[in-house]
Amino acid sequence: MSDIAERVKKIVIEHLGVEEAKVTENASFIDDLGADSLDTVELVMAFEEEFGCEIPDDAAEKILTVKDAIDFIKANSAA
Amino acid sequence: MRRVVVTGLGMVSPLGVGVQNNWERLIKGESGLRAITSFDVSDLPAKVAGQVPRGPTSEGLFTAEDHVPTKDQRKMDEFIVLAIAAAHEAIRDSGWQPQTDEERELTGVMIGSGIGGLNGIYDGSITLHEKGPRRISPFFIPSALINLASGHVSILYGFKGPNHSAVTACSTGAHAIGDAARLIMWEDADVMVAGGTEAAISRLGIAGFAAARALSTSYNDRPSAASRPYDKGRDGFVMGEGSGVLVLEELEHAKRRGAKIYAEVTGYGLSGDAFHITSPPEDGNGGFRSMRGALKRAGLDPSEIDYINAHGTSTPLGDEIELGAVKRLFGSAIETVSMSSTKSAIGHLLGAAGAVEAIFSIKAINDGIVPPTLNLEDPSDSCLGVDLVPREAKEKRVRAALSNSFGFGGTNASLVFREFK
């Protein structure tokens, strides 16, 4: 598993207070991990902070799962 | 009018977590005031505060994670965390668990705060300045809003009745209890979780109150001596933090479920000074009228009040003015009443003060002990002939207790609690 995937999962675990085993690549933040709309906004901010990238609102709206986040960051980050 | 009784108590203060723990330490004459070490005070004139002591829950100390899950703490400023901790204790103590929708809809929450999320607003301002608006958390506003203390408690417990918050500076806790009792009297609710909470001890909070010349600055090297109501050496209040929460309940409702009843809320008086933003008028007419109103509502003569938990913040002017108002109202009954300021032990909890002090007043009724005014070594001349319970608690039957709270803006509230028979 890539370093980016590990870091994304770590942020999700910390912010949503969920067990590591639940944070699979296909897990949906809202449907599977108990996040609400404010949690997802904060998650995106945490990804921006961690990876030094900017995630525009229209792109953020499409980040619904762990995999969505990993894919976006892989494509848009130098980290 | 329906009668309202107290069936649950919960508290976090500079003396620790839990009502019994607090009460025992208070009666022993212990102080919760310490030198501030959690942030830099080198350039602040006041370096002493009553901070909630951190440590293991099993030792009566505060561990936030034991009250609110870590992931949820990011969504609320500390004043909300403290309110939830006190509410958990009070609700558990009351044994009230609504089972039906109707019961849930008749259970409300009214927990206020004087200042709310000051520290979060400070941090948010720094973030905005240094990193720009995109770095402001979506939880910034709901963390800081005062009524979110009531909001979180209602969400946690499914209490769907009146959801409200008092915001009247240092009278907040007393107004919350008085107003919540009236909501029960008027049948808007059968049960109200009511109280106050505050967590504003920070560089910004201290700087603000110090600029208003409200804080003690002469006892930085002797923290436990800094709050000394009625003593000639007093020079201002000491900031405190914490939360007090009471479960108020309609009498018949409490009786039907066999609840333990601590006391009855019989009196509530309110007034405005219409005078000055931070100072009371010299004749103390605002405090006088709120006390008189509370006694009238309670149907009690001053001679039937055995204990007054004074506002008594340890400011040179405020203590004198309150004492004068009490003397005028009580007349010859001043000879039999005992009056103490528990702020001498825990400092001034601002929006939580009225609620925490209401709990101390109720414990005085229940246990027949009046708590002391610590550091009262050399009383002001005006104290002559008034029992201010200097330095040591004393046994005394308390049939009814009066609790005073006066706030910036000239807002006054007095509560009367009566033993329940």
Query: What are the per-10-residue average pLDDT scores of chain B (421 residues)?
Result: 97 98 98 97 98 97 97 95 98 98 98 98 97 95 98 98 98 98 98 98 97 97 98 98 98 98 98 96 97 98 98 97 98 98 98 98 98 98 96 98 98 98 85
Cβ-nearest to B138 among A16, A17, A42: A42
Which residue carries 């009855």 as its tokens?
Answer: B264
Closest to B70 (Cβ–Cβ): which among A17, A38, A48?
A17
Q: Which of B9, B19, B148, B170 is catalytic?
A: B170
Q: Which residues of A are catalytic?
A: 36
**Could B135 and A45 be called an inter-chain contact, meaning their C-beta atoms sit closer than 8 Å?**
yes
A→B contacts (Cβ < 8 Å), by residue, are: 14-17, 38, 41-42, 45, 48-49, 54
Cα nearest neighbour of A13 on chain B: B71
Would the CB atoms of B138 and A41 count as touching at under 8 Å? yes
Q: Does domain A1-76 have CATH number 1.10.1200.10?
A: yes
Say if the Cβ atoms of B135 and A17 lie within 8 Å: no
- A48 neighbourhood in chain B, CB within 8 Å: 134
How many Cβ pairs closer than 8 A exist between chain A and B?
24
Q: What is the distance in angstroms between the Cα of B169 and the nearest Cα belonging to chain A?
A: 30
Instruction: Return the CATH superfamily for domain B268-419.
Output: Thiolase/Chalcone synthase (3.40.47.10)
Q: Are A77 and A4 in contact (CB under 8 A)?
A: yes
What are the φ/ψ torsions at residue B5 (nearest 5 degrees)? -120, 165
Q: According to the model, what pLDDT value does residue A78 have?
A: 64
Looking at chain B, which residues constitute the CATH 3.40.47.10 domain(s)?
4-263, 268-419
Q: How do B4-13 and B242-250 pair as beta strands?
A: antiparallel
Looking at residue B162, its pLDDT comes to 98
pLDDT computed for residue B106 by the predictor = 98
CB B113 within 8 A of CB B196: yes
Task: Report whether pLDDT(A1) > 70.
Answer: no
Chain B interface residues (partner A, CB cutoff 8 A): 69-72, 74-75, 134-135, 137-139, 142
Model-level pTM? 0.96
The answer to whether the Cβ–Cβ distance between A48 and B72 falls below 8 Å is no
Which CATH number is B4-263's, of 3.60.20.10, 3.40.250.10, 3.40.47.10, 3.20.20.100? 3.40.47.10
> Please, which residues have CB within 8 angstroms of residue A46's CB and are 6 or more apart in sequence?
A11, A15
Pick from B408, B15, B46: which is nearest to B202 by CA? Answer: B46
Closest chain B residue to the Cα of A17, Cα to Cα:
B71
DSSP B369: E
Q: How many CB atoms lie within 10 A of CB A30?
A: 13
Mutation target vs A (from B70, B134, B141; most A CBs, 10 A cutoff): B134
Cβ–Cβ of A45/B137 closer than 8 Å? yes
Type of residue at B347:
G
Distance between CA atoms of residues B384 and B406, nearest Å? 23
